[in-house]
Amino acid sequence: MRVLVTRRQTAKVEAALNARFDVVLRDDSAPLTLAAARAALADYDAILPTLGDAFGAAAFQGPIRARLLANFGVGYNHIDVAAARAAGVAVSNTPGAVTDATADIALTLILMSARRASEGERLLRAGAWTGWQPTQMLGQHVTGKRLGIIGMGRIGQAIARRGHFGFGMEVVFYNRSPLGTLDMPARQGTLADALGADFVVIAVPGGPETRHLIGANELAQMGPHAHLINIARGDVVDEAALIAALSTRKIAGAGLDVYEREPLVPEALRSLENVTLLPHLGTACEEVRDAMGLMAVANLIALAEGHPLPNVL
The residue extents of the domains of the chain are 2-97+286-305, 99-129+136-277
pLDDT, one tens digit for every residue, the chain (313 residues): 999 999 999 999 999 999 999 999 999 999 999 999 999 999 999 999 999 999 999 999 999 999 999 999 998 989 999 999 999 999 999 999 999 999 999 999 999 999 999 999 999 999 999 999 999 999 999 999 999 999 999 999 999 999 999 999 999 999 999 998 899 999 999 999 999 999 999 999 988 899 999 999 999 999 999 999 999 999 999 999 999 999 999 999 999 999 999 999 999 999 999 999 999 999 999 999 999 999 999 999 999 999 999 999 9
Catalytic pick from 67, 161, 212, 280?
A: 280
Catalytic pick from 38, 162, 233, 289?
A: 233
Element (H, E) at 38: helix 34-43
Is residue 280 annotated as part of the catalytic site, yes or no?
yes
pTM: 0.92
Same fold, 2-97+286-305 and 99-129+136-277: yes
Q: How far apart are CA 202 and CA 86, in angstroms?
A: 31
Catalytic pick from 26, 115, 146, 262?
A: 262
Q: How far apart are CA 192 and CA 4, in angstroms?
A: 44
| Strand, coil or helix: 301 | helix
- CB of 262 closer than 8 Å to CB of 52: yes
Is residue 307 annotated as part of the catalytic site, yes or no?
no
CATH topology assigned to domain 99-129+136-277: Rossmann fold (3.40.50)
Is residue 262 annotated as part of the catalytic site, yes or no?
yes
What architecture does CATH give domain 2-97+286-305? 3-Layer(aba) Sandwich (3.40)
Phi, psi (rounded to 5 degrees) for 173: -140, 155
| Strand, coil or helix: 284 | coil
